[in-house]
Amino acid sequence: MTDLPKIGKPATNALAAIGIKTLKQVKEYDEKTLANLHGVGPKALQILKQTLAEHGWTFQNDPGEQTDFTLIAPTDCDNAPKKRMIRDYTIATAKADRKTLEALLVENFVWEVPGEFEIRGRTKFMEELFSHSEPIRSLELEHIITHGKCGALNGEMVTKKGQHVYFSDVFEFENHAKDAKITKIISYVIIK
């Protein structure tokens, strides 16, 4: 593993806070996400970019995941289609991306928040979601786990107003196929 170059203590600490301790881990993130971390300035980014280039690497660049907010998410989803779907779904909810949600959810989709409500139907779900949508500062997806026709994810979203939303979602897919759509999500949410 290649150690991080000397980028200053604030930048090193900011990267360590999200689990980045080596240059190889840096290349798993896009430049914009790292630039939005408190403590990582233009000089640190330039040093990282130059050091990556010296090793024949670059920052990650996935145009499909361009966001107006800082996104910290697992990058090892390409060999696990359902992990990728869970990741894409969660990013789409934060972006209020109707097209992606329509592609991932079945028409008779069910969203349940235990003890609060249950919404039936993809259209009703999106209406509810979009009516409560707030500008996001950051979205961090910590763990994504899948097995068979089930999956789970947990993470934290911070709104531009500074409100922290901690969440854990349990996903149910229509079958075991790698392109199966999402049929149900049970969400557990803590807002602070």
Number of H helices and E strands in the chain, helices first, is: 7, 7
Query: Can you say whether the dihedral through the CA atoms of 184, 98, 28, 38 is positive or negative?
Result: negative
Closest CA to 139 of 65, 44, 39: 65
CATH 1.10.150.20 boundaries in the chain: 9-61
What is the CATH number assigned to the segment(s) 65-191?
Answer: 3.10.450.50
User: What pLDDT is recorded for position 127?
Assistant: 96
Look at the pTM and tell me if it is higher than 0.85.
Answer: no
Q: What is the pLDDT of residues 2-14, one digit of tens each?
A: 789 999 999 999 8
User: What pLDDT is recorded for position 31?
Assistant: 79
Q: Which CATH architecture has domain 9-61?
A: Orthogonal Bundle (1.10)
The number of C-alpha atoms within 13 Å of 42 and in the hemisphere containing its C-beta is: 0
